[in-house]
Chains A and B, each alone.
Chain A
Amino acid sequence: MELGKAGRETVVIHSVERELLLPGAEPNEAWESVTDTERLGDWLGGDVDLDPAPGGEFQIVFDGTEEERTGFVEEIDPDEHRFAFWWRRPEDELSTRVEISLEETDEGTLVRVVETSPMATLDLIGIPLPGRGAQGPTALALAVA
C-alpha cells in the first residue's frame, strides 16, 4: 500500500504539532539543545544516543519507565536548523517521524515540533469526530500529493 502517491488525492495524516518560543535565544544556542545528546535527552526525558548524520542511529531510553525507542536520523541540517528522526514505540511498534525545526524571529527562536504517524494514515480522513467538534484535539495535517 502506498500513501499519498495518487495524483491530486488528499490524505489526512495523524500529526501533532507544537511550538515554543525561546525569548532572546539565538538559533545556534537552541540548536545545541536539539542536537547535543545530553541537552536533548534532558528535555526529551531520557538518555539519548545519536549518530548525527542521515541514516545514523537514534536511541532513547526514557527516565523512569525505561522504555526504549530506537530509530534513525532522517535529516540533521545545522544550516537550516532542522532535525528529523524516526522512532518506534515498543508497545505497538508504531513508527513515527519527529521533525524539530528552529526559526529565528524578532522575539527569539521559535522551536517547532511535528510528530507524524504515516503508517496509521488512512484511518483518519478528516471526519469530524462526534463529541469533539471539528477543531479536534489538535490540527490534522493535510498532505497533498
Chain B
Amino acid sequence: VSGEPVFAALSDPTRRTLLTRLSDGGPATATQLAAELPISRQAVVKHLEALREAQLVTSAREGREVRYTVTLEPLADAVGWIADVGAQWDSRLAALQSQFSAPRSPK
C-alpha cells in the first residue's frame, strides 16, 4: 500500500472522525454514521469512498445498505516501525549507560 492515498484520505478531519468512529464503535453503515455524527448521509458516503480507495476501510453490501469496516493493513507498517525503532533505542541507551557505569578508558 503506497502512503500517498492514505495520506490524502486522512488529511480531512471528517474522514478522521469517521475512521475513529469505525475503529471505536465497530462496523457501521453510512446511515448509522450519519445518524450519530453531524454529517449528512451523502457526505458520509463520499468520505467513506475516499477511505475505501485508500484501503483504510472495506465495504460489504448488506441488503440495501453497505457496511464499512476499518482495515489495518496501512497501519501495520506504523506499528512495526514503532516497535523496531523502540527496540533499537533500548539497545543504544543500554550502551550509553555502560559508558557511564564502566570505568572510563583513557582516550
Contact = CB atoms under 8 A, between A and B. Distances in A.
Contact of A126 (B7, B20, B90, B98): B20
A115 B93 CA distance: 13
Given A43-B92, A43-B96, A138-B86, A120 B20 contact: no
Interface size class of B (residues with CB under 8 A): 35 or more
Given A43-B99, A123-B75, A115 B89 contact: yes
Contacts of A1: 7-8, 11
A115 B85 CA distance: 8
Interface in A109-127: 111, 113, 115, 117, 119-127
Given A9-B13, A123-B7, A137-B86, A129 B96 contact: no
A20 B98 CA distance: 11
Nearest to A128: B23
A131 B75 CA distance: 13
Given A14-B82, A16-B82, A45 B92 contact: yes
Interface in B72-95: 72, 74-75, 77-79, 81-83, 85-86, 89-93, 95
Interface residues of A, number: 37
Contact of A120 (B13, B78, B96): B78
Interface in B1-15: 3, 6-8, 10-11, 13
B6 A129 contact: no
B93 A129 contact: no
A136 interface: yes
Contacts of B86: 16, 18, 137-138
B70 interface: yes
Contacts of A20: 93, 96-97
Nearest to B72: A129
Interface string A1-16: 1000000010000101
